[in-house]
Amino acid sequence: MPFPRHMLYAVVLLLSTFPALQAGTHPVNITEEIPWVDVVIEGKKIRIERIQDTDHKLTNNYTKTSRPTPPFDIQPFRPIPGIRTVTELDLLDFLQKDVAKNRGLLIDARLPKWYAHGTIPGALNIPFSILKGGAQNPYIPKIFTLFGAKKSGDKWNFARAEKLLIFDNGPWCQQAVVAMKALLRQGYPKSKILYYRGGMQFWQIVGLTTITPKEQL
């Protein structure tokens, strides 16, 4: 079962001005103007930045190029019409403008065994597997209430539901797509869902900070 939101709630501070950096002290920025983004989770500040070692190479599972297909099909850029695919910069902007203002959630849709090895700071683990199923799925009322939806008779009212940005392992992974399709079957609006196709693989390829769940509790 995923962690309660209050344990993972993130307040994000994208600094409008940064301290002057001495030449060579921070050679790898996120963009020319943004060296890092600071995230405060349960009172603990975590800095999202790129790895500064320009010779660094990945040595984990995300170095793999080939996996059996199916199930590890390469996903289309926009697998579900009407749901926008976003980049790393969009995700950071989402943390600042939506998560920090309590109107958005960053959702790691991977199974817990993947999540346990590391995730994006501020992400809430809602595995795709517990979203599947029909209206009798016992997890849906708890999850939708967490998302800010309200039950109205036998239907859900999503007028005040939060925007979700959903990701998984990367372009070869279907877990986020399965999660999004499950949410749509339950009535969640496409307008409130974003898809980070790059997932953990692209996040790590560009050297951005990852944390393990115990670090953000």
- Determine the Cα–Cα distance for residues 208 and 168; give it in Å rounded to an integer: 15
Mean pLDDT within 101-111? 94
* Best mean pLDDT range from 39-43, 132-136, 141-145: 141-145
Mean confidence (pLDDT) of the chain = 87
List of domains in the chain:
5-216 (3.40.250.10)
SS3 call for 41:
strand
b/e code 60-95 from CB counts within 10 Å (16+ = b): eebeeeeeeeeebeebeeeeeeebebbebeebbebb
pLDDT at residue 11, rounded to an integer: 39
Give the pLDDT band (50/70/90) at residue 97. Answer: confident
Q: Who wins on pLDDT, 14 or 40?
A: 40
Lowest mean pLDDT among 1-5, 34-38, 57-61, 192-196: 1-5
Mean pLDDT within 27-39? 92
Mean pLDDT within 33-44? 83
pLDDT digit string (tens) for 11-27? 344 433 445 455 457 88
- Determine the Cα–Cα distance for residues 131 and 156; give it in Å rounded to an integer: 15
DSSP-assigned beta bridge partners for residue 125: 108
Closest of 180, 174, 187 to residue 135, by C-alpha: 187
Burial of 138 from C-beta contacts in 10 A (0-12 / 13-18 / 19+):
exposed
Q: Who wins on pLDDT, 44 or 147?
A: 147
Upper half-sphere CA count for residue 20 (Cβ side, 13 Å): 2
Q: Who wins on pLDDT, 133 or 189?
A: 189
- Please enumerate in sequence order all residues whose Cβ is within 8 A of that of 114, keeping only pairs 6 or more positions apart, or say none: 168, 169, 200
Rg (CA), the chain: 18
Give the pLDDT band (50/70/90) at residue 39. Answer: confident
pLDDT at residue 7, rounded to an integer: 43
What is the torsional sign of CA 41, 45, 49, 51? negative
pLDDT digit string (tens) for 160-216? 999 999 999 999 999 999 999 999 999 999 999 999 999 999 999 999 999 998 754
Give the pLDDT band (50/70/90) at residue 10. Answer: very low
Angle of CA points 89, 34, 90, to nearest 5°: 10
pLDDT above 70 covers a percentage of the chain that reads 86
pLDDT at residue 100, rounded to an integer: 83
pLDDT at residue 106, rounded to an integer: 97
Model confidence at 40: pLDDT above 90 = no
